[in-house]
Amino acid sequence: MSFHKHVLNNGLTIVGEISPSARSVAIGFFVKTGSRDETPEVSGVSHFLEHMVFKGTPHRTALQVNYDFDRIGASYNAFTSEENTVFYAAILPEYLPQAVDILADILRPSLRGDDFDMEKNVIIEEIGMYDDQPMWCAYDNAKKAFFNEHPLGNSILGTKESITALSRDQMQAYYDRRYVAPNITVSLAGNFKWDDAVKLVEKQCGSWPTGTAPRGNIKPVEPRKYQQVMTKEKLNQEQVFMLAPAPAADSPERYAADTLAMIVGDDSGSRFYWALVDPGRAEAADMSFHDYEGTGSYFTSFSCEPENTQDNLALIQEILREVQHEGVSDEELAVAKSKILSRVVRGSERPMGRMQALGMGWTYLKTYRSVDEELVNFDAVSLKDIRGVLDRYPFDELTVLALGPLAKLE
């Protein structure tokens, strides 16, 4: 594999990892904007805009966009997170020119008023759909409670009220501010020719407007000891989330934090699994590490019968206290490393996986991290590193949110 980078005159960055043995190529346009970049007046606009990008351009209707992707057999989609909006496609190498043309074209959308009004109804329906999913509803509200005033607590979807009030001109203004060339990274991975790819992107994107799209409030989240119960009597299970601070995306401690989360709460063979899932105390119980720009968090969650909630909550808190004070064992560390190394390798075998890793790595760190480097970094995690991250980011103060039939947590 070989890595390449090029910056266009307007500031758009192109990064690529060539794998001659691959049979496909993946390309993604990473726009560094998401819900954390929104004000309350435009809550949900990043995700709404992701939808609008596929509704047509001055050169293509929405139908033509879909037809042109299908004609080259592309696997394509987009997603919006707290920090990024990403548009991507995986194709056979011979169709890279067409894929670049389509993706670059839709990133200059028409944002027609009629399309905006119609898609607004779709977004409102989507918000309602997610509100009906207990796990998602609990997650979104737990995140909001944990981050509190921090912009990472902003809802990705927004609310029915914010989307209803949003105007097409507000979206256009947001687009003009955030979708400037220096705020976009194009990532490629797989079987392609670098010089040809640069020419393709430069032809389609070289005239895009330049500018700055600063991101404010880059700061760590403070621990928040807080408990909230959201009662929904019609639900059959209780969904519980417990959040705590963790290292940021650019922290060397992220490797130890990811490993620790695997030991404590992987969906198989972790402490949570053996204590809650295997004996049937809970349907699911896990811990995951989420890293962001400037901060990070551990997300612990479980779902169970309401009558088991309090005992399970106490059991998880006891496990966290035990890990906090006693650390983890050599055997647990070795097993976690095996799982993570396998995950990294398997993800890297698909151009789509490497394209996303490459794009995210460059967006956050402005550096290239090869698969081998990632393997070395995870393999180097020691018990001392785990102790260090536990001391720096203790589980002492947790934000707890429960959603389900219960009226309170004792």
For 124, list phi and psi in degrees, rounded to 5.
-65, -40
Dihedral sign for Cα atoms in the order 333, 339, 342, 344: negative
Maximum distance among all Cα pairs of the chain, rounded to whole angstroms: 63
Tokens (6 digits) for 351 = 């151009």
Question: Does 50 qualify as catalytic in the annotation?
Answer: yes
Nearest to 30 by CA among 371, 374, 364: 364
* Catalytic member of 50, 119, 293, 374: 50
CB 117 within 8 A of CB 144: no
Separation between Cα atoms, residue 392 and residue 120, nearest integer Å: 44
CA distance 407 to 399: 17
* CB-facing half-sphere around the CA of 281: CA atoms within 13 A: 19
251: tokens are: 């922290």
Q: How far apart, in whole angstroms, are the C-alpha atoms of residue 296 and residue 318?
A: 23
- C-alpha to C-alpha distance for 336 and 256, rounded to whole angstroms: 11
Instruction: Return d(Cα 94, Cα 92) in angstroms, integer.
Output: 6
Residue type for 82, please?
E
> At residue 254, what are phi and psi to the nearest 5 degrees?
-65, -30
Helix then strand then coil, in percent of the chain rounded to 5, is 50, 20, 30
From residue 1, alpha-carbon distances to 18, 121, 192, 345, 348 in Å are 5, 45, 11, 14, 11
* CA–CA gap between residue 271 and residue 294 (Å, rounded): 29
Active site residues: 50
